[in-house]
Amino acid sequence: MQSPLFAHTEQQTQERWTLQNPQLLRIALTGHEDVLARKGAMVAYQGLMEFDGEYQSAGQRRSRRMTGEGLDLMRCTGQGTVFLANLGQYLHLLDVDHEGLTVDSAYVLALDSALHTEVIAVDSQYGISG
């Protein structure tokens, strides 16, 4: 099998979040902290992992009912490594460092499960939804 996805050797690092290549995210899970990832973004995994594709917080259910907007996430738990990608999009790692960040949901691949998320209205003449 040939593909540019296989052109890179696995990054050996102790970091939890690592870009395996510009379009593939590698996340190391130790069994203590879960990750929320876009549904359908799991490319591969190693180790003892579980994926809950029906994950939604109470706030997300309420927001989706009220606005029709939301982010379809799956909860990734366990011990091992999970590799994520979304439609070949180029990836950037952002450390929010306890600061707020507004992102269009179409561009979210994964986030730490400890982060608070909510749907907000963005005043825009272009109709951006997030």
Q: What is the value of pTM for the model shown?
A: 0.77
**CA 96 to chain CA centroid, nearest Å:** 14
How open is the CA angle 128-116-64, to the nearest 5 degrees?
50
Q: Is 89 a member of any domain?
A: yes
Mean pLDDT of 40-46: 94
Q: What is the span of the domain harbouring residue 21?
A: 4-112
**Does the pLDDT value for residue 130 go beyond 70?**
no
d(Cα 37, Cα 75) in Å, to the nearest integer? 6
Q: Is 120 a member of any domain?
A: no
107 in helix, strand or coil?
helix
- Those residues whose C-beta lies under 8 Å from the C-beta of residue 106, and which sit 6 or more positions away, are none
- Identify the pLDDT of residue 67: 64
19 in helix, strand or coil?
strand
Question: How many domains is the chain partitioned into structurally?
Answer: 1
**Does the pLDDT value for residue 119 go beyond 80?**
no
Q: Is 121 a member of any domain?
A: no
Q: Is 91 a member of any domain?
A: yes
Closest to 100 (Cα-Cα) out of 115, 121, 113, 122 = 115
d(Cα 99, Cα 49) in Å, to the nearest integer? 30
Q: Is 24 a member of any domain?
A: yes
Mean pLDDT of 12-39: 91
- Identify the pLDDT of residue 108: 92
- Per-residue pLDDT reduced to its tens digit, 52-111: 987 666 666 666 666 666 788 899 999 999 999 999 999 999 988 778 888 888 899 999
